[in-house]
Amino acid sequence: MKDLLQKAFNAVMDGDSELARDTAEAWLAAGGSPLDLVNQALTPGIREVGRLWEDGEYFLPELVSGAEAMKTAMIVLEPAMVQTDTGTSGSRVILIGTVCGDIHDIGKSLVATMLKANGFQVVDLGADVAPERFLRAFHDHHAALICMSALLTTTMTGIPELIRLFESSGVRSQVAFMAGGAPVTRKWASEAGVDYYGDSAVDAVRIATDHFRRRNG
């Protein structure tokens, strides 16, 4: 079994989706607990991928391949997890989208992939999302965190606009906002009324993890 743990870790590190799937299947066939594979191999693997990316050793292709390998393994494990996982308390739902007018969704999709790979329930609203759609989805999914991104300086003002809509609708206190994107800076995000600024997909995972830990206890 130890050998399979190492294989699963390596599959994520090397971005090898096929190996990730095969290893997850072999793990279940050998009677392993799906949560053990997640906690002891896949999650450490994706964290290591994230660390190497932050250190400038890995780049976008390695990050995307690693997250894809993790997702592939999760698809195999998830049916078994439903039976064994006692579940987490409280919402782990995250809404994500690029703000109104911004059709650039590469970074946003990467953040969504990384959040999913780390076990969050992500509702991806896509690109060019009107503020009203964010609000409707917030109600529909009982989301606890909303991630917004903007690539252009010309669209980033959509971030404070969205927050103002939640304020005027009286639901601002029920949800936290995270923002990112090339022109967005920590200082700017803070002034725009955003709760969290994420400067990378890895940073976003860390912030979301801390947020839900505090929120759900």
Contact with other proteins (CB under 8 A): which of 1, 75, 82, 106? 106
Total interface residues for other proteins by CB under 8 A = 35
10 Å CB burial of residue 163 (0-12, 13-18, 19+) is buried
CB atoms within 10 A of CB 215: 13
Residue closer to other proteins, measured from CB, 40 or 98: 98
Decide if 148 contacts 99 (C-beta within 8 A).
yes
25 binds other proteins (CB under 8 A): no
Decide if 34 contacts 28 (C-beta within 8 A).
yes
132 binds other proteins (CB under 8 A): no
198 binds other proteins (CB under 8 A): no
| Piece in contact with other proteins (CB under 8 A), picked from 27-35, 41-49, 70-78, 150-158 | 150-158
188 binds other proteins (CB under 8 A): yes
DSSP 193: T
46 binds other proteins (CB under 8 A): no
45 binds other proteins (CB under 8 A): no
CA distances to 17, 19, 27, 112, 127 from 13, in Å: 10, 11, 18, 19, 29
Q: Give the E-state strand segments of the chain in sequence order.
A: 93-98, 121-124, 145-149, 176-180, 196-197
Structure tokens at 56: 């400038």
Contact with other proteins (CB under 8 A): which of 156, 175, 178, 201? 156
Contact with other proteins (CB under 8 A): which of 102, 149, 177, 179? 102
**Which positions lie near other proteins, rule CB under 8 A?**
15, 55-62, 64-65, 68, 100-103, 106, 110, 128, 152-158, 160-161, 182-183, 185, 187-188, 191-192
